Chain A
């Protein structure tokens, strides 16, 4: 199956600092990647759709100036949490859309656990 990696897997930062999370598709090119957020024992909530070479599309209620997304290549999307606060602590998961034989599938990364102290 397709492989998607995330880095770092865990990060602890102080309140007010910024954190960058990388999402890479390792064995396929992804023009579209997605960023999700998951709180403990809850479902995944879509934050934004990241499109290579263009601006990300954010879901309602997600602050685009706080969660900066850059999709500069066909294999890399980054999410930067700016001026992080404790309420931003969560599990952030990216996914990448792979198109194969005319069909699209989404493959998820392993997630990044962000803790803001």
Chain B
């Protein structure tokens, strides 16, 4: 099936620094790209998403960029806080209908005080 590659697998930053997670996808029909935060033992929580008709979206400390030509998208977290520590998953829609998702393998983010 179509793949979503996510890097890095682990990321450690100091509180206040920025964190960037990058994903690439292969399905050219994908048009929806959400990001989820998952804490231990819990379900993923939608934190931001972007659709193929825009190149960038921002929500407070979180921003996502999308380059459809290159088929990659990135999550940017600024002014990181310890509570940002979690596993982050990127996803890409399977084709352009139904919104079933292919997930990246996840990035374990650790923000140290």
Contacts and interface: CB of A to CB of B under 8 A. Distances in A.
Interface of A: 1, 4, 6, 32, 34, 42-46, 49, 60, 93, 97, 103-111, 113
B113 interface: no
A32 B51 contact: no
7 contacts: A1-B46, A32-B98, A34-B100, A46-B102, A97-B98, A97-B99, A105-B99
B51 to A, nearest CB: 7
Contacts, number: 54
B43 A43 contact: no
Nearest to A93: B43
Contacts of A107: 46
Interface residues on B, range: 20 to 34
Contact of B51 (A44, A103, A106): A103
Interface stretch (B12-20, B34-42, B59-67, B69-77): B34-42
Interface string B27-39: 0000010101000
B46 to A, nearest CB: 6
A108 B41 contact: no
Contacts of A44: 44, 89, 101, 103
B1 A60 contact: yes
Contact of B105 (A1, A6, A42, A111): A42
B104 A106 contact: no
Given A44-B89, A49-B100, A108-B43, 10 more contacts: A42-B105, A42-B106, A43-B89, A46-B102, A93-B43, A97-B99, A106-B46, A106-B101, A111-B41, A111-B43
A32 B99 contact: yes
Contacts of A108: 36, 43-46
A1 to B, nearest CB: 7
